[in-house]
Amino acid sequence: MEIQRPIDIEACSTWLEIDLGAIKNNLNLLTKLTGRPVMPVVKANAYGHGLIEVSKAAVEAGVDWLGVARIEEALALRAAGVACKILVLGYTPPRRVGAAVQEGISLTVYDKAVAQTYADEAVQAGGSVKVHVKVDSGMGRLGVFPQNAVEFVRWLKGQRGLDVEAVFTHFARADEPKYDTTDGQIEKFDGALSQLKKEGIKPKLVHAANSAGSLNYPAGRYDLVRCGIAMYGLPPSPDTPLPEGFMPALSWKTHLVSLKTLPPGHGVSYNFQYFTKKDERIGAIAIGYADGFRRRAGNFVLVRGKRVPVVGAVCMDQCMVQLDDVPEAHIQDEVVLIGRQGNEMISADDLARDWGTINYEVLCGLADRVPRIYIK
C-alpha cells in the first residue's frame, strides 16, 4: 500500500515504520564482517519490509545482486526500475523464461528436464537465460546431489540458450552451530567444486551462505553471501545472536482508538474469553489478526512506555488492552506492537517466542494492508 508524503501517522490506523538507514547499516556490517559482497534477499516483500523501497536502499548502499524467491518478485523490481543483477532462488515456470531473458534475470536450475524447457524457451525468445546451478549438499530441498553436479553442469554448458553463471548450495542448520551438519555440507559442496575444477569447469561465481552461514561459517562464504534476516536486523535463531551494532529496521504501531471503564463482570470481545473482575479501564487498539497479529491469549503491547496485556479474543481489525496500570493513557495515544517505546521494547523475536514460531514468520505475516512508512 502506498502512503502519501509527507507522512502523517495521524492519518494511519496502524502502520509499519521501516528504517532504511538501519538496513544500510546492517548491510555495511555484513559486508565488513564477511569480507564478501552481500546479496540481500528480498523475497516475500523483503520479509514484510517492502520489496521496492528496501531493494532501492540496498542498491544505493552499493549491492550488485538481489535475491528473490519467485520470478514475479524479480519482474516487479524491474518494473520499478531496479537494474542490478537479480537471482530467482526458487522454481521458475518455463513460460516465464522469455521474460527472464528480456529482463536479464538469473534463474535457478537443478533438473535436466526443466532446464531443457528453459533452454528451448530462451532460444525461442531469441537469447539465452543466465542460470545458477543449485547443488543439494544436505538441505533435502532443491538441487542436484554433489556427485551429479559435474555431469549436470557439463550438460547445461552444452545447451544453446543457457548461460551458466554460478554454482550454489543452501545450508539447513547454519543457525544451529552446535551441530556439525554445516561443516559436512561445506565438505560435500567443496567436493563437487573440486570435481568441476578437475573437469576444467570454473564457475564465475560460487555462493552458499544465508545470514547464519555468513556469521557462523567463514568457510561457507565463497564469492558472495546471501543475507536476509540479518540485514533486517534480526538474529537467524536464538542460537545465532547478531554481533554488536545491528539494528532492527521495522517497528509496528497503532493508536488507542477507544478508552472506557467497564463495570465488574463485563465480558470483553467475542465469546467472552475475558471478564472484568472490578471496574477496569479497557482500551481498544486498531490492529487485529488480519494485520498479522495472532488470535491467541497472552499478547502484550506498549502504551506510554509500559507493557500492557491484550485481553479477550483478538478480532480481525481490533483488540482490547487492559490499562489499569497506565492511568495516564489517553485516547489516540500511539501504541507499539513491535519496537521501542520509552524504556520498553517488544521485538519480533519476543512475538515469535510467544507465538511458538520464528521471527521470519512474524515479519512475513504482516499484512499488505498495513502501510509501510519509510525513514531514510
Ligand X SMILES: *Cc1c(COP(=O)(O)O)cnc(C)c1O
Enumerate binding residues for ligand X (CB under 6 A): 41, 43, 89, 170, 210-212, 226-230, 236
Distances (CA, A) of 93 to 66, 79, 97, 113, 266: 20, 19, 7, 12, 55
43 is known as an active-site residue: yes
Radius of gyration of the chain (CA): 24
CB 237 within 8 A of CB 176: yes
Burial 17-35 (b: 16+ CB within 10 A, else e): bbbbebbbbbbebbbebbe
User: Which of 169/341 has CB closer to ligand X?
Assistant: 169
CB of 291 to ligand X, least distance (A): 22
CB of 174 to ligand X, least distance (A): 8
Residue among 43, 56, 130, 188 flagged as catalytic? 43
CB within 8 A of 150, min separation 6: which ones? 192, 195, 196, 199, 201
User: Which of 131/227 has CB closer to ligand X?
Assistant: 227
User: Which of 89/285 has CB closer to ligand X?
Assistant: 89
Distances (CA, A) of 216 to 27, 35, 82, 213, 299: 17, 14, 31, 5, 33
Residue among 157, 204, 260, 270 flagged as catalytic? 270
270 is known as an active-site residue: yes
Closest CA to 65 of 48, 96, 41, 101: 41
Residue 42, classed as helix, strand or coil, is: coil
User: Which of 69/123 has CB closer to ligand X?
Assistant: 69
User: Which of 142/257 has CB closer to ligand X?
Assistant: 142
Q: In the numeric block, which cell numbers belong to residue 191? A: 567436493
Q: In the numeric block, which cell numbers belong to residue 80? A: 520499478
The angle subtended at Cα 50 by Cα 43 and Cα 63, nearest 5°, is: 65
Q: In the numeric block, which cell numbers belong to residue 94? A: 518455463
Closest CA to 135 of 125, 143, 127: 143
User: Which of 41/101 has CB closer to ligand X?
Assistant: 41
User: Which of 221/281 has CB closer to ligand X?
Assistant: 221
What gap in Å lies between CA 351 and CA 356, rounded to an integer? 8
CB of 319 to ligand X, least distance (A): 29
In sequence order, which ranges of 3-50 are alpha helices (DSSP H)?
A: 20-34, 43-47
Greatest pairwise CA separation for the chain in angstroms: 80
Active site residues per annotation: 43, 270
